Structure 1
Amino acid sequence: MADMRPLREDLQATLHARRDLGPDYEAALVESFVERLDATIAARVQSELHGHAPSPYAPYSPPPPPAKARSGAGHMVVLALGSMALGVPLVGIAAANAGFIGLLVALVAIVAINVAGAAAIAHR
C-alpha cells in the first residue's frame, strides 16, 4: 500500500483545496488531479513494459498456459479401452448370431480399427 500513499495524499490535498477555494475552482482541481493520476498510470505501464516486476495493482492476472495435448500413449490407452469396452459385447453378439464366422469378422474389425488408430497416432 506504500505505492498508493502519494496518490491518496494528492487526492486528500485536492479535496482540501476544493473546500478552501470553493466550487469555482473545482474543474481546475479535478483536471490537475487527473493529470497526476494519468502520469502515475503511464509510469506504471512503462515499468511493466520494460520488464520490471508486475505491479500488485494490476487489473488482472495473465491467463494460465494452455493445457498440454494428450501424448500418443494417452490416445492409445483411450483407443484400447474403448475398443475393449465396445468390442467384448460386439464379439459376443456376433458369435451368438453368426457363429465362428461372426466371431472372426468382429475380431478382425477390432484389430483393424486398433491398427489404423495406432498408425494415425504415430504419424502426429
Structure 2
Amino acid sequence: MKTRDPELKSELDAALHARSELGSEYEPALVESFLEKVEQQLDSTLDRRVRRHLAEQRVSVARGARPPQPLGNFGERYGFGIISLILAIPLSAIGAAAADTGGLVVAWLGIIAVNAVHAARNWPWFSHRTGRADSDWED
C-alpha cells in the first residue's frame, strides 16, 4: 500500500494483524476502529486547510485586496436576462408602432441599459461608487 501518511499505514497494518490473530468475529469492530481513525485524520486535514484558507483571506484583506465577490446565483443572473428578452418583444412592438425605427431603437437601448446596470452591480468599481459598504454579511 502506497500512502502519504505513514501513521495511517501502520494503523491499517495493525488492524490487519489483529484480524489475523483474533479471527473474523472481531472484523466489524476492527474495521470500525480503523474507519474512525481515518475519519479523524480527514477531519484534522480539512480543519488545517480551512484555517489556512481563512488566514490567506485575512492577509489578503489586510493588504487591501478585496475578497472575490460572487456574481450571484444562476437564477438571478440568467433569469433577469431571459425575462428582459421576453419583455423585449412587446416593448419592441410598441416602440415600432409608435415611432417606427426610432421607437424600436429607443426600446432596445432601454433594454440594453437595464441589463447593463443589472450586470454592473457585481463590478468592484461600481459597488464603491454607489456607496455600498463592504460587509462580512453580504453574499
TM-score by length of structure 1 reads: 0.44
Structure of greater Rg: 1
